[in-house]
Structures are given as structure tokens and as C-alpha cells.
Amino acid sequence: MDEALEKHRNGEIGFNEACRRFNIPKPTLRRHLKEMEEILAQYLMNLESCFFGLTTTEFRKLAFELTEKAQLPHRFNKEKRIAGKKWYYRFMKEHPTLSLRAPEPTSMARSKGFNKERVNQFFDKYEEILDKYKFVDHQIYNMDETALSTVHKPSKYFLSTTKAIGGTS
């Protein structure tokens, strides 16, 4: 297996030839070749968990860099140093836990005001009002304050579909 992977990665033999010559089933060899993509998918999810995302172009450039550093044979655009769109669409199809989404725009004031002390103050006040007026579940609504916004519209980034609000993708 190791020899077949090495010869294929070095570009000495193609995928089908490696399977034939070393008597390895195609799904087995393909699974071993996908390890790098799994690492890449996990990296995207780790970035997302740190509230940092990559655009599709940044992701495709990262894939190119990883492929070059691992010295894997590829058909990516060496002039532009970017992975192809077909590769990207296949990658996304094979990793359904990832999706490309636009994060919700947030104003700088709201971001700066979102800290542990302010959140605790909010929930203390919220509990105080609930206790004072004895509200029950069906009397509590979630409303948007206004239809006006002073925030920019961010680019789309990769997010894990398992972390989507309400479980939708």
C-alpha cells in the first residue's frame, strides 16, 4: 500500500495503474488518498469553531499550498496557485458537514458590547423581570429591534452544518 501511494503521489504511475500493479481495490486506495482532504475539512471546522472563516478563494489557495507542500501530484493551476473549481465542488459534495454561508452582519458596537459582564447583566435583568411579572413561555417573544442597519454585509465563509442554528443548512 505504501509503495503504491508513494509511486502515485510522485506521479510515477496513475491511480488505475497503481491499483492494478499492486492489486489494491480502488476504494481502498482512494480512501488513503482522501486522508489529506479529511485533514483539510477538519481544519475548516476548527477555524469555524474559533469564529474565523475562509472564503472559497482562500480555501482553494490553501488546498493548493497543502498539495504543493505534501508534494502530491495535482492538476491545479500552478500559475495562479489555486485549486480548481471542479475540485472544490467535488470536495464540498464529499463533505456534507461543511457549507458555505454568509455570517450574520454585526455592528462594531454590538461586538464590543458582547462580553461576559454585559451578558451576565442582561440575564440578571431578564430573570428579574420574569420573576416580577410572572411571565410564562407563551407570553415571551423574540423580536428584532429595527429594520435599519449600519453594518456591512460580510462575505460567505465555511461553516459546519452541524452548528447551524435550528439544525438547518
Give yes or no for residue 89 having a pLDDT over 50. Answer: yes
Does residue 6 lie in a domain region? yes
Residue-wise pLDDT tens digits, 126-169: 899 889 999 888 888 776 655 555 556 667 777 676 654 444 44
Domain range holding 74? 2-104+154-167
**Average pLDDT score over the chain:** 79
Q: Is 82 exposed, middle or buried (0-12, 13-18, 19+ CB in 10 A)?
A: buried
Query: pLDDT at residue 108 above 50?
Result: yes
Does the residue 131 lie in any domain?
Answer: no
Backbone φ, ψ for residue 77 (5° rounding):
-75, 105
Residue 75 domain flag: yes
Q: How many domains does the chain have?
A: 1
Please give the average per-residue pLDDT across 62-73, as a whole number.
82
Residue 92 lies in a domain: yes
Q: Is 44 domain-assigned?
A: yes
C-beta separation of 10 from 73 below 8 A: yes
Q: Does residue 129 fall inside a structural domain?
A: no
Q: Is residue 83 part of a domain?
A: yes
Residue 69 lies in a domain: yes
Here the cell at position 73 is 501530484
Is 0.85 topped by the overall pTM?
no
